[in-house]
Amino acid sequence: MISAKLALGPRAIFSARLLRRLARRFARSQDGSTAIIFSLSAVPLMLLAGAGFDYNLASTARSNLQQATDAVALAAAKAVATGTSGTALQTYAANYLAATTKGAATAVAGYPSVNATTGEVCVRSQLQVETALMRIVNVATINVQASACAQVASGSYEIALVLDTTGSMSSADDGGQSKLTSMKNAANSFIDTIFDSAALGPRTKMSVVPFAPSVNVGTGYSTASWMDIDALSTWHWKSPMFAANSAVAANRFGLFTILSAQKSSWAWAGCVESLPYPHNVTDDAPNPTNKDTYFVPMFAPDEPANVTHTEQYWSGGRWRTRTVTDASYNNSYIGDTGSCSTAAPTDNSTASQTTAQSRLCKYKSATNKASTAGPNTYCTSKPLVRLQTAKTSLKTTVTSLAASGTTNIHEGFMWGWRTISPNAPFADGTAYNTQGNTKVIVLMTDGQNTWFDAANALNGSDYSAYGYYKSANGRLPTTNQNVTTETQARAAMDALVRQACSGARAKGITIYTIAFSVNSDPMDDQAKQLLKDCAGDISRYYAPNSQSTLSQAFASIGDSISKLRITR
């Protein structure tokens, strides 16, 4: 046991001196009765007074030691939450205690102790208080002890990491490193922090959901019960994307099978389309009585070839003839005829172009026209990882992420929510309102919702998880329909995000948002406000611009999740 002196204050020193003077006066007194009384009672009185005085000193010292021990317990619990354990934890606590008490106190052997089941981190400390008066009977010090336990919030945790993997993530952050690399490092560090924590790790499950124009659930779900295998959803065969033709394919998976025989990359890549509104802003399970609540595999249609035709025009005082191309399509990857009994349309009327785009017969005996386009053109993200405890699997997914495509925050958020939901499609999450369970979504993006328009009159836009501008109304809020511009499309997607975030918070989910905005490619105020609104509390919104500040944001979120508190 190491002794440490506790300095006495001026008042304590004055009181001690006063008692000594009184004792000397008693001893010098010549009065007989006084001498007799003193001889009989001086020592007990002195001991009693000294004991009381020294007890007060010890009581004050213990109160101060308790405050210091509380602080050390909280600090130790925080260190445990960030992965500190064993000898490193004991050294950290000892140094913290020494700094807090100016070297007066020491930790009791065997402490701090960590209970991995309850999440409690307990500390016991001690110090030797030097007595003022009781030393006359050889009691030089009084041993004072204090104890405290702090807890990283008990119960279980379900955390969804929703990460932007769009093309802009390949650009540099303010530290000169690609945003994607910075994000990988920060996210993997966050995963380590959570799972290496003796208090949090054993009680946490996590998912990783990469997103870009859409979300990839993985190719293993082509026969899942929540997928629209029977093609009964309104959105499975919908003009002008497709016209049903059971002689060619029973569902979109059948089309993927036909095309993959010609080109392996044309097999279904795993992406799914948005549910119709309002099902796409809730985590309700698919309802057998409403097939529109089932998920449709994302299949970007083969768009018509550019149609060339002749037209008459007036020039130089007479009519002239010229050849022009009126339609411009971004995803034309096979011929418009295939095994169809009728030839491809030769004009650019809306009716002809609808026919050229929607008929299924062209996919049979299709001829490959392009190497960069195809049915998976807008499926650019890596598959999500469902809720689990396997840290290695989570980190492997994060490390493998690549940057490509545009931004669809809404679909990314919704699939993050679905991974921690107790409802299908995955039903991996604990039931809502389960005592002690905490559900968290961490959403990180570097940009704004984007859905590009297109020059053609038939579709008006690139294909997306919502289809085309011309066919998207049923998937958009009633206040944001009939979109014709990218500005309107963004407003519609923003509205979906706000409703989805509000719905998740109403279920008790805590949302953290990160706006990774760098000087060379800043996020505008509209995008930042969207993330603030999604979090629902400005304290859960972060705006880093480099790897270091992004890592700090993730670390702060980890601290917030751990919710340290003194328990006893």
Query: How much is the pTM?
Result: 0.77
**Confidence tier at 60 by pLDDT (50, 70, 90):** confident
Contact 23/48 with Cβ under 8 angstroms?
A: no
Q: Which of 341-345, 464-468, 520-524 has the lowest mean pLDDT?
A: 341-345
The three-class DSSP label of residue 162 is strand
**Confidence tier at 369 by pLDDT (50, 70, 90):** confident
Supply the pLDDT for residue 437: 92
Name the domain count of the chain: 3
Supply the pLDDT for residue 12: 40
Contact 483/469 with Cβ under 8 angstroms?
A: yes
Supply the pLDDT for residue 488: 98
Supply the pLDDT for residue 220: 97
- Residue 435 pLDDT exceeds 90: no
Q: d(Cα 332, Cα 318) in Å, to the nearest integer?
A: 37
Mean predicted confidence (pLDDT) in 345-371: 85
Q: d(Cα 277, Cα 474) in Å, to the nearest integer?
A: 6
Q: d(Cα 356, Cα 335) in Å, to the nearest integer?
A: 9
Round the average pLDDT of the chain to a whole number and report it.
Answer: 87
Same domain, 109 and 187: no
Which stretches of 408-520 are DSSP H helices? 409-420, 486-506
Same domain, 176 and 125: no
- Residue 91 pLDDT exceeds 60: yes
Same domain, 183 and 124: no
Supply the pLDDT for residue 52: 66
The three-class DSSP label of residue 477 is coil
- Residue 568 pLDDT exceeds 90: no
- Token output for 538: 């400005």
- Residues, the chain: 568
Supply the pLDDT for residue 562: 72
* Residue 489 domain boundaries: 162-192+391-409+447-556
Same domain, 63 and 143: yes
Same domain, 140 and 175: no
The three-class DSSP label of residue 49 is helix
> Nearest to residue 417, comparing CAs of 499, 501, 495, 498?
501
Mean predicted confidence (pLDDT) in 405-415: 97
Q: Which of 22-26, 507-511, 556-560 has the lowest mean pLDDT?
A: 22-26
What digits encode the pLDDT tens for the residues 150-192?
A: 876 667 899 999 999 999 999 999 989 999 999 999 999 999 9
Domain membership of residue 74 (yes or no) is yes
Supply the pLDDT for residue 372: 81
Element (H, E) at 351: helix 350-358
Same domain, 121 and 14: yes
Contact 360/375 with Cβ under 8 angstroms?
A: no
What digits encode the pLDDT tens for the residues 248-293?
A: 999 999 999 999 998 999 999 999 999 999 999 999 999 999 999 9
Same domain, 43 and 185: no
Supply the pLDDT for residue 72: 92
> Nearest to residue 301, comparing CAs of 342, 264, 272, 334?
334
Mean predicted confidence (pLDDT) in 341-346: 82
Domain membership of residue 423 (yes or no) is no
CA-based end-to-end distance of the chain: 25
Same domain, 182 and 118: no
Domain membership of residue 282 (yes or no) is no
Domain membership of residue 102 (yes or no) is yes
The three-class DSSP label of residue 154 is coil
Domain membership of residue 536 (yes or no) is yes
Same domain, 148 and 176: no
Q: At what angle do helices 86-101 and 32-81 cross, to 10 degrees?
A: 140
Q: Which of 16-25, 424-433, 453-462 tops mean pLDDT?
A: 424-433
Residues of the chain with pLDDT > 90, as a percent, come to 63
**Confidence tier at 411 by pLDDT (50, 70, 90):** very high
Q: d(Cα 388, Cα 397) in Å, to the nearest integer?
A: 13
Domain membership of residue 93 (yes or no) is yes
Same domain, 454 and 530: yes
Same domain, 32 and 115: yes
> Nearest to residue 100, comparing CAs of 146, 140, 133?
146
Beta bridge partners of 510: 440
The three-class DSSP label of residue 370 is coil
Sequence-distant (6+) residues with CB within 8 A of 190 are 161, 442, 554, 555, 557, 558
Same domain, 488 and 528: yes
For residue 516, what are the CA distances in angstroms to 167, 214, 530, 554?
Answer: 14, 20, 13, 12
Q: What is the DSSP letter of 290?
A: B
Domain membership of residue 254 (yes or no) is no
Domain membership of residue 297 (yes or no) is no
What digits encode the pLDDT tens for the residues 281-334?
A: 999 999 999 999 999 999 999 999 866 655 566 777 676 776 656 556 889 999
Domain limit, last residue, from 152, 181, 216 = 152
